[in-house]
Structure 1
Amino acid sequence: MTGPAERPVSARPRLTVATEPTPDQLARWLTDLAFDGAGWPVLLARLAEVTGTGARLLAQTGELLASSDASGSGDRPDGVSGARGASAAELCAERVRCADGWTGRSVPVGAGSRRLGVLLLAEPVGAGQLDYGRAAVTALLIEAVRREPPQPPAPVGADAVLRALRDGTGVASAAGQADLVRAAAGHGWRLNQPHVGVALGYTGAQHRRWASATTWLDRPVLADGWQGWTLLQGDAQREVARLRGRLEQIVGAGQVLVTCGRSVTGPAATSDSFRDARRLLRLLLHHPYGPPGLPAGPARAELPFDRSGLAQVLLAVPDERLRWYVDRHLGPIAERDDLLRTLDHWLASGGSRQAVSEQLHLHRNSVGYRVGLIKRLLGVDPLDPPTAAVLRAALVARELLITTPDVE
């Protein structure tokens, strides 16, 4: 094997050693040189300066890769006599004789499963010189890696990309984020531009049809039981409605839920957007007629982040703070679902006993009794404007706490 042309040794900065270095010091110096781009001839020349003897590097096939006396002009000594194509055992013998009569003591050059060949130090060689030779192995391997042709990255499947983005794996380092950006680009997602995480939910019983439906979309979907996950860019509200419409064409109307999280830029923030979408999906499952904080209406099948009302703010609040807020303002009725539902509808209707009666299928007198009990237990008038705002936020915070566990 003939390596790329090297610059003359004389053109390289020479190692200045005030005193004889230890093997560990030599290893660090040579490693620094290798990381700076020094080739094998330079590394061997520096080794020869310290050991006072010549050095040659041979591949496992017996081919001469470099020597300490190479001028950089391409004039290189011959290879190993009788060793070209010989077994590794012959090359790694204690002494190896080259075709030109040059004889050296061998030091194996390898680490783990990587085997480059052998380093030869010209005889006579003492134990201390062999220690220096062993100290040069890491630097020689660094240069071997640098010379290897770059390997094209294996394509990363859409499922793996979506799972990593959803779960926030692989984003702890800049290199990991760069890999995700490249992998996502292979599927049409530009993570360095605004995007949202999307959660898809299916409420019907035809799960095979649902699994098939997710494959007919114009974008990859990570299917996971009755759920699906994907990314959107552009007008999130319009795209959410389009996705739901397309899926309902296949599985039937009224059986698909679609939510999306906040708009983010960069792979590190994408898991936050997926987290928002996941919790909004739970809100829809618990409140088919609209979560607290949103006007009551017909069955809600989609909830983009921008239309999620108070949840837009509260999703960013740590669960510990939400829990404190709920306990502080709803504590006495926190375990009474009947009173919580009544309070929710009482606030939404502006205190209309008739509206609450119709929505909860209660007698008007029952509504009045419940409202009176709520006032007594909480010690406030729910319709007092400042109090109503606090209670509305507490109701939404309670629902978000319910949605905290994973939906899988």
Structure 2
Amino acid sequence: MTGAADGPVPAARPRLAVAADPTPAQFAQWLTDLAFGGAGWPVLLARLAEATGRDCRLVAETGELLATSDSTSGSTVVDPGALRGDRVRCADGWLGRSVPVGSGSRRLGVLLLAEPVGTGQLDYARAAVTALLIEAVRREPPQPSAPVGADGLLRALRDGTGDRSPAGQADLVRAAAAYRWRLDRPHAAVALGYTGTQRRRWASALTWLDRPVLADGRLGWTLLQGDAEREVARLRGRLEQIVGAGQVRVAGGRSVTGPAATPDSFRDARLLLRLLLRNSPAAEPAELPFERAGLAQLLLAVPSDRLRWYVDRHLGPIAQRDDLLRTLDHWLATGGSRQAVSEQLHLHRNSVGYRVGLIKRLLGVDPLDPSTAAVLRTALVARELLIVAADGG
């Protein structure tokens, strides 16, 4: 076997029609998502073959065939020495362009794309490397112990300070597996908050959970998988058995796949927990999984400057009047019940009427008009998110 000799050219595979050709970066992200979702090498190579119109093979450093986009099978398909060339000929005469598959100290082998190969096709092949490495890590035997401690792992995932390289991301997946967390499957961050005074009891309660928790004063951070709403409720119930009822707040972030997206889930959980903690200790709800966050589910993804513009545009004249903002919030929530707002805010009915009249004059709208009510409700939630985002506690 030689590495660069010419030979018969395999027939090109028909290219699948797509709505729009992805860039190599978009293709890399798509394949990575597939890998984290459980797609194995054959599926990943099939998607690469569809994108490039060329068959492909994944070959280990030993020359062993690991996977292929077609029906080829066999053990040793190439002399290991030939893998150092740009073009590699296999034992069956198949000729492919070589792309190294590795990162850092981790070396898997090479990805071969059937010749002839153009520059654009080669870019797609290089874009597939990360996804192939993710599957390689999945196939590695379980480690006897965690590469990093639970606190360090949770802190890296929460703060996004882990190694962003493919090898670094793969190490996070492997480290999390030691604690029964599958980062390559859907998972969500959880933020735990304590409103009581017995801090030592709270710290002890966190250690009694069935998972590692990163403790930070009155706060705690962990991960969950499975039914998010049920798990959030279960965690709160378990903690309140130890610290007392009504003293725990639990919020969950969005469900994500892959360690690169986990910091986003922690950010969601942190902001939703702060929303809960802004309420009085006896206020409901005491838990807020992302799935029940309502408008906040959408607004968490909106940049702060856009939220600020929206709040200024629709609440500007009363933005500095907490009394009017609270009145507006309750007025919308009760459908304009003066009696209900009076009882909730401990105001005389006439005071409620005066405040509502002032709100109408300053904003120039009727808050109960259906379209206006939706805008104002969105602006109120956006304002709350801006406040908690600015709060570093």
Interval containing the TM-score (normalised by the shorter chain): 0.5 to 0.7
Matched, 1:322 2:314: no
Matched, 1:309 2:294: yes
Larger radius of gyration: 1
Structure 1: distance between partners of 2:269 and 2:324: 28
- Letter aligned with residue 285 of structure 1: L
* 1:171/1:267 contact within 8 Å kept: no
Partner-residue secondary structure (3-state), 1:404: helix
Shift of 1:155: 2.4
Structure 2: distance between partners of 1:197 and 1:204: 23
Shift of 1:340: 0.2
Shift of 1:288: 4.1
Cα deviations across residues 253-307 of structure 1 (Å, max 9, x unaligned)? 1100000011101101111111000000110111349xxxxxxx95221000111
Matched, 1:260 2:252: yes
Aligned residue number for residue 167 of structure 2: 175
- Letter aligned with residue 322 of structure 1: L
Against the structure 1 CA distance between its residues 218 and 315, is the aligned structure 2 distance closer, same or farther, given a 3 Å change threshold?
A: same
Matches within 5 A, 1:291-302: 299-302=284-287
Matched, 1:343 2:335: no
Structure 1 runs (4+) deviating above 2 angstroms are: 151-155, 405-408
Cα deviations across residues 30-57 of structure 1 (Å, max 9, x unaligned)? xxxxxx988xxxxxxxxxxxxxxxxxxx
Cα deviations across residues 144-177 of structure 1 (Å, max 9, x unaligned)? xxxxxxx999721111110011011125221111
* 2:251/2:288 contact within 8 Å kept: yes
Structure 1: distance between partners of 2:187 and 2:231: 12
Cα deviations across residues 222-244 of structure 1 (Å, max 9, x unaligned)? 00000000000000100001100
Aligned residue number for residue 239 of structure 2: 247
Aligned residue number for residue 185 of structure 1: 177
Structure 1: distance between partners of 2:144 and 2:230: 37
Matched, 1:389 2:374: yes
- Letter aligned with residue 378 of structure 2: A
Structure 2: distance between partners of 1:328 and 1:190: 43
Aligned residue number for residue 90 of structure 1: none
Aligned residue number for residue 205 of structure 2: 213
Shift of 1:407: 4.1
Shift of 1:216: 0.4
* 2:146/2:178 contact within 8 Å kept: no
- The CA RMSD over aligned residues, in Å, is 2.5
* 1:201/1:258 contact within 8 Å kept: yes
- Letter aligned with residue 188 of structure 1: R
Cα deviations across residues 46-80 of structure 1 (Å, max 9, x unaligned)? xxxxxxxxxxxxxxxxxxxxxxxxxxxxxxxxxxx
Aligned residue number for residue 357 of structure 1: 342
* 2:324/2:355 contact within 8 Å kept: yes
Shift of 1:196: 0.4
Aligned residue number for residue 151 of structure 2: 159
* 2:215/2:221 contact within 8 Å kept: yes
Matched, 1:234 2:219: no
For structure 1, list consecutive stretches of 5 or more residues without a partner in the other structure: 1-10, 14-35, 39-150, 290-296
Name the TM-score, length of structure 2 as normaliser.
0.63
Structure 2: distance between partners of 1:154 and 1:246: 26
Structure 2: distance between partners of 1:395 and 1:324: 13
For structure 2, list consecutive stretches of 5 or more residues without a partner in the other structure: 4-78, 82-142
Q: 1:286 aligns with which of 272, 278, 292?
A: 278
Shift of 1:406: 5.5
Structure 2: distance between partners of 1:386 and 1:171: 47
Partner-residue secondary structure (3-state), 1:199: strand
Partner-residue secondary structure (3-state), 2:359: helix
* 1:260/1:304 contact within 8 Å kept: yes
Partner-residue secondary structure (3-state), 1:354: helix
Matches within 5 A, 1:52-67: none
Matches within 5 A, 1:36-75: none
Partner-residue secondary structure (3-state), 1:332: helix
